[in-house]
A = this chain, B = another copy of it.
Amino acid sequence: MATINDVAQAAGVSISTVSYALSGKRSIAASTRQRIMRAIDELEYEPNAGARMLAGARTNILALSAPLGPDGHLPTHMRFVTSVVEAARAHDYDVLLLATDDEVSGIRRAASRSLIDGVVVMGVATTDERVPLVRRLGLPSAFIGIPPGVDDMSCIDLDFDRAGREAVTMLAEAGHTSIGVIGHPHSYVDRDTNFIRRFTHGFDDECRARGVRTATQWPEIGRTGGAQAYDLLREQLPDMTALVFHCNEPIVEGALRRISQLGLSIPGDLSVLAACASYAADELETPLSAIPLPLDEMCHSAVENALALVDSLGDPQVTLIAPTFLDRGSIAAPRPAVHPA
């Protein structure tokens, strides 16, 4: 493997000149730079990662702390991971994946070994030990999710509070006054997951402001849970004319299945909105109007925020992404009277 020395010799310059040509930290004559670049191409030179790290420069590696609980939704999880890797690659960064019981200790290890320049933290819990850990390590970082009360670290997330309000607004303005919600599995809620709390807060608050009746079901995990949740919701809120999903695909699918079994049409008999959807809501049995979870935007911003801190450009900041709405025709005005099967 070619070293910087080989390149320097081939180009007839010193190694420091090569280094500066590569980093751009000092000016280099155009002709010299060209000779160097040609040598690099010919020799297929790639800087040695270890040497670069050791010399106190970058490692060009970002850790991704991605815990996956037993009730985690694999497809969503994978989408986040993929998206972070993609974003990192766009900045010539590689990603060290920390998972399964190593999402905390791995951060400590990788940082202590000076193996990483920063960390992107996924699956942030309401009380998350990674917050104080990362703070203590002084490691450039970005959190995907907002740990409550944190304002000295970069965090990015959908504005779930506003998403909740928007959901109500969309439906209320279409004329609905009784809106059911099928939320995430109750095991998520038991953990007091922060984004759920924020969504619920905005949603309930807006309902109150608009005099909308509402009820929420936190189902069992999986499709069956979704179907059951629909039935329970119908009991709880017999005059329900609109339904909001704030959960993952399987539950949505289960509920939609149940709704179609009951012979109900969307949006004729029931208006439906997929809120904070991490999945393609247009590929469901019935395509749903949605407030999408801007997963890619979240991941890309997280990577960029983390790298900005690596470069000491600016301070940590909390970013809330404004919700958007994608109309797929699953929302309409309520029928004067709906008689469920």
Contact = CB atoms under 8 A, between A and B. Distances in A.
Nearest to A45: B112
A77 B52 CA distance: 33
A50 B44 contact: no
Nearest to A253: B223
A114 B3 CA distance: 11
Most buried by B among A51, A53, A94, A112: A94
Contacts of A74: 74-75, 78-79
Contact of A100 (B51, B54, B85, B96): B85
Interface stretch (A27-35, A102-110, A123-131): A102-110
A48 interface: yes
A170 interface: no
B97 A81 contact: yes
Given A82-B100, A95-B97, A99-B82, A51 B54 contact: yes
A1 interface: yes
Given A51-B50, A74-B79, A112-B44, A94 B96 contact: yes
A268 interface: no
A115 interface: yes
A91 to B, nearest CB: 13
A102 B99 CA distance: 21
B114 A48 contact: yes
A59 B68 contact: no
Interface string A240-255: 0000000000000000
Given A75-B74, A75-B78, A85-B97, A109 B50 contact: no
A280 to B, nearest CB: 11
Contact of A49 (B95, B106, B113): B113
A115 B93 CA distance: 12
A98 to B, nearest CB: 8
A69 to B, nearest CB: 12
B61 A54 contact: no
Given A48-B54, A51-B53, A81-B99, 9 more contacts: A1-B114, A47-B113, A49-B53, A68-B82, A81-B81, A81-B97, A82-B99, A94-B110, A94-B115
Interface of A: 1, 44, 46-55, 59, 61, 64, 68, 74-75, 77-79, 81-82, 85-86, 89, 94-100, 102, 106, 109-110, 112-115
27 contacts: A1-B112, A1-B114, A46-B109, A47-B113, A48-B53, A48-B114, A49-B50, A49-B59, A49-B110, A50-B51, A50-B54, A61-B96, A74-B74, A81-B81, A81-B97, A81-B99, A82-B99, A82-B100, A85-B98, A85-B100, A89-B100, A89-B106, A94-B96, A94-B106, A94-B110, A95-B96, A95-B97
